[in-house]
Amino acid sequence: MSDTDAADRLRSLVRDVADFPSPGIVFKDITPLLADPRGLATAVDAMTAPWVDQDVDMVVGIEARGFILGAPVARALGAGFVPARKQGKLPWATTAESYGLEYGDDVLELHVDALVADHRVVIIDDVLATGGTASAAGRLVASTGALLVGFGFLIELAFLGGRDRLGGHHVESVIVESADDEPLIERGVV
């Protein structure tokens, strides 16, 4: 399968849901992709490839779809996995960062002992939209003294400018959508 065919197949497995979770939002539903074994494998392989030679120690997955994609990426990299959860969901001492979403505000937390200063970390999530959640996760990683190697996303909504909020860190996105909703491929890894 060519890179273009693979990208087209992945994009075809993502369902757009209008006005969810609030009016004016087009939600990128990846559950059809997750239910397709070949699609899921292709997505995980594409999200892993950029980090193979980066000596990653830990993958931070952002709640909730970042857990689904981040855990197999961590396994493929031989790294550990750390969940970044919404406030009040982790059972022990945490550090927190607040952030704004395209449809509201929230707080993201990590366990205080999840990362240490010598960890090399990649943050994984399904969608980069405005960058608020990913930026908060990046600040959480920085607060531990760990080195943020970069961010990985299945889908980037480039027209929302989220990449600009990530402090110049390395960003890898499998599918990049422009304002006219035409999927573009950023790298030849798909």
Catalytically active residues, by annotation? 65, 102
* CA–CA separation, 7 and 152 (whole Å): 16
Dihedral angle sign, alpha carbons of residues 89, 163, 40, 24: positive
Strand locations in 20-161 (E):
26-29, 58-62, 80-86, 94-101, 104-111, 120-128, 147-157
- CA torsion sign for 77, 83, 84, 86 is positive
C-alpha pair distances (Å), 22 with each of 27, 92, 102, 150, 151: 9, 32, 10, 30, 26
